[in-house]
Amino acid sequence: MPIGTCPDCEADVHVDPDVDKGEVVSCEECGIDLEVVGLDPVELDMVEEDLDDDDDDDEF
């Protein structure tokens, strides 16, 4: 299973073997969303959440 590194906490993040670039995974360690920006090796980048999204923070 491919493993990337969280750019925030540097934990190992397990990624689906058939994941595609642009997919978003979550860091198991700190919980932030990470976008897959590279596949060989797996590279992860933090997703900026200030974009217009359907999912407003109504969970609070």
Residues that bind Zn ion (CB under 5 A): 6, 8-9, 11, 27, 29-30
> Which residue has 């919980």 as its token pair?
31
Nearer residue to Zn ion within complex by CB, 9 or 56? 9
Q: How far apart are CA 28 and CA 57, in angstroms?
A: 21
Nearer residue to Zn ion within complex by CB, 9 or 39? 9
- In the DSSP assignment, the letter for residue 46 is E
Nearer residue to Zn ion within complex by CB, 34 or 58? 34
Q: What are phi and psi of 25, to 5 degrees?
A: -120, 165
* Minimum distance of Zn ion from residue 36's CB (angstroms): 14
